[in-house]
């Protein structure tokens, strides 16, 4: 068989894997948005079957044969990178028994449904036995994958290749110190934005209509996606032509849906603008969760929370908002939506305190995986860290340890990506601002050049490049947290006049 025929066989094999993946993603979307409670048990078995099937195909003798025959012969750069990614996946996962992976998928799918109920009831005990199983699975997987210094490194690698516990333990303490210093200045300031100005009742449907207009302004393609409601907002990619967003509405505070939807829209734009040549390969996704978060946070914070953005969109906002907003001046509105105040819920946190939420979760995850604490310890340790970092203590597990879906999804090693993504975003935004007149573009509502620049610089590559490679290619330097601190210092120094 000649090389062209073998390459075509490999592409057909990859497509089969992707068919199962797409079906599994549709199941995950449905279970987080539409499924009736009694459907969870049987649907979990389907998810387990599909997950096991994908695992089998990724680690099969056939996959090993394709890699062996093609990796030194193929001259197609996309195929060469695909083979590299497939080989790493094979080497990491071939030691994991297929039945164990199937058990994990079933448990994970059930756990998400149980988490939703536990969160609603504010009852950690309901979720605890599922979480214990998921922690054990992750420890087992990390042992199979292997690591050098810290078992948690094996989990970090899944979401942020190249980043280790050593990296985070070096960067996070300095970042925390800088953030707490800024927070002290904010709290000491005599200038206090009035959040009550933006907390009038705002009907859900009107919020939905407004946020859809903002997504269209960003360039999100509704012909290749949709927006739905869920408990915990997420974006999910079935295919590059079917990238779905979800949001959560609070009729007492529109900020939840508006900024949450823009955040997920940033994820959606990334996926919708990956090079179509990568379709049906494992490269048709983001470089890492940190790079993904850099895109969503760039849109949510650096664009949508800026004054120029609301100079352009405030009249549009008032068109959809209740009459009670009509007497709120733009300047007061801008300050109110940018109030800095320690809060319990991560996805509702202001820009300045947001990374502190991530550090809390990182420290707990790392300790949990390293068997320094137990699952039973989590609720009270969570509350202690909230008090230590933010000076507040949750009154229930709903606003504490149960607020995020990630642990229910078995995604240990994910949370640091949020803080890394925020630092990436600040660095990328700095470079973007040196290339384009971002402030003027945002003020005039012409966001297409920004979308196109991000598409050309980052999105199109999918997983063709490693995350730190993208960062250095775009910004011409390695990770530099100073850009985030400088951004926050400038913005909140102006708002709080310090």
Which residues are annotated as part of the binding site for Zn(2+)?
263, 267, 293
The rounded distance, in Å, linking the Cα atoms of 386 and 243 is: 34
Report strand pairing: 242-247 vs 235-239: antiparallel
DSSP type of residue 343: -
DSSP type of residue 358: H
How far lies 122's CA from each of 111, 401, 402, in Å?
A: 15, 9, 7
The rounded distance, in Å, linking the Cα atoms of 271 and 357 is: 26
Q: CB of 466 within 8 A of CB of 474?
A: no
Q: CB of 242 within 8 A of CB of 224?
A: yes
Q: What burial class does residue 287 get, using C-beta atoms within 10 Å of its C-beta: 0-12 exposed, 13-18 middle, 19+ buried?
A: buried
Which residues pair with residue 236 across a beta bridge?
244
Q: CB of 144 within 8 A of CB of 96?
A: yes
The rounded distance, in Å, linking the Cα atoms of 414 and 234 is: 14
As given in the structure block, the two tokens for residue 447 are: 């966001």
Q: Could you identify the residue written with the tokens 């032509």?
A: 241
How far lies 273's CA from each of 404, 459, 460, in Å?
A: 28, 6, 6
Angle at 197 between CA 429 and CA 484, to 5 degrees: 20
Q: CB of 48 within 8 A of CB of 105?
A: yes
The rounded distance, in Å, linking the Cα atoms of 128 and 14 is: 37
The rounded distance, in Å, linking the Cα atoms of 341 and 350 is: 7
Catalytic residue ranges = 264
Which residues pair with residue 244 across a beta bridge?
226, 236
Ramachandran bin of 465, using left for φ above 0, alpha for ψ from -120 to 50, beta for the remaining angles: beta
Which among 430, 360, 418 has a CA at the least distance from the CA of 389? 360
Other CB atoms closer than 10 Å to residue 96's CB: what's the count? 18
As given in the structure block, the two tokens for residue 122 are: 């504010």
Q: Could you identify the residue written with the tokens 């005599």?
A: 190
Helices (H), 146-226: 151-159, 165-188, 204-218
Q: Could you identify the residue written with the tokens 């990630």?
A: 406
């Amino acid at each position: 068989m000649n090389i062209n025929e073998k390459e075509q066989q490999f592409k057909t094999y990859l497509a089969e894997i992707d068919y199962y993946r797409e079906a599994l993603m549709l199941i995950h979307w449905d279970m987080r948005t539409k499924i009736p409670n009694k459907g969870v048990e049987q649907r979990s078995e389907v998810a387990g079957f599909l997950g096991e099937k994908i695992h089998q195909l990724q680690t099969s003798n056939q996959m090993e044969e394709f890699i062996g025959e093609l990796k030194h012969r193929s001259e197609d750069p996309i195929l060469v990178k695909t083979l590299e990614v497939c080989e790493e996946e094979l080497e990491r996962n071939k030691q994991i028994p297929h039945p164990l992976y199937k058990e994990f998928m079933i448990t994970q799918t059930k756990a998400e449904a149980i988490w939703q109920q536990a969160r609603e009831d504010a009852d950690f005990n309901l979720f605890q036995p599922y979480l214990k199983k998921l922690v054990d699975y992750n420890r087992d997987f990390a042992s199979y994958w292997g690591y050098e210094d810290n078992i948690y490194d094996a989990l970090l690698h899944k979401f942020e290749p190249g980043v280790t516990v050593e990296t985070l333990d070096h960067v996070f303490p300095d970042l925390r110190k800088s953030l707490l210093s800024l927070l002290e200045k904010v709290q000491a300031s005599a200038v206090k934005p009035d959040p009550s100005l933006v907390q009038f009742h705002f009907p859900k449907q009107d919020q939905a209509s407004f946020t859809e207009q903002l997504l269209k302004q960003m360039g999100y393609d509704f012909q290749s996606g949709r927006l739905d409601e869920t408990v915990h907002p997420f974006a999910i990619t079935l295919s590059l032509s079917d990238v779905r967003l979800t949001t959560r509405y609070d009729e007492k505070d529109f900020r939840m849906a508006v900024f949450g939807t823009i955040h997920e829209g940033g994820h959606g734009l990334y996926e919708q603008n990956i090079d179509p040549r990568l379709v049906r390969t494992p490269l048709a996704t983001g470089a890492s969760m940190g790079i993904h978060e850099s895109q969503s946070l760039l849109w949510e914070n650096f664009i949508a929370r800026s004054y120029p953005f609301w100079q352009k969109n405030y009249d549009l906002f008032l068109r959809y908002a209740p009459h009670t907003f009509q007497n709120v001046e733009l300047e007061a509105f801008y300050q109110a939506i940018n109030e800095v105040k320690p809060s319990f819920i991560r996805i509702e946190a202001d820009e300045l305190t947001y990374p502190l939420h991530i550090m809390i979760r990182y420290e707990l995850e790392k300790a949990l995986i390293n068997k320094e604490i137990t699952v039973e310890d989590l609720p009270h340790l969570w509350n202690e860290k909230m008090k230590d970092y933010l000076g507040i203590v949750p009154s229930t597990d709903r606003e504490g340890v149960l607020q995020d879906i990630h642990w229910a999804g078995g995604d240990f090693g994910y949370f640091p990506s949020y803080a890394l993504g925020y630092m990436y975003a600040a660095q990328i935004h700095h470079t973007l601002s040196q290339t384009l007149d971002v402030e003027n573009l945002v003020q005039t509502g012409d966001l297409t050049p920004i979308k196109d620049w991000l598409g050309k610089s980052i999105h199109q590559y999918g997983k063709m490049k490693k995350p730190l490679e993208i960062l250095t290619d775009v910004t011409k330097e390695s990770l530099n947290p100073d850009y985030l601190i400088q951004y926050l210092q400038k913005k909140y120094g102006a708002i709080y006049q310090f």
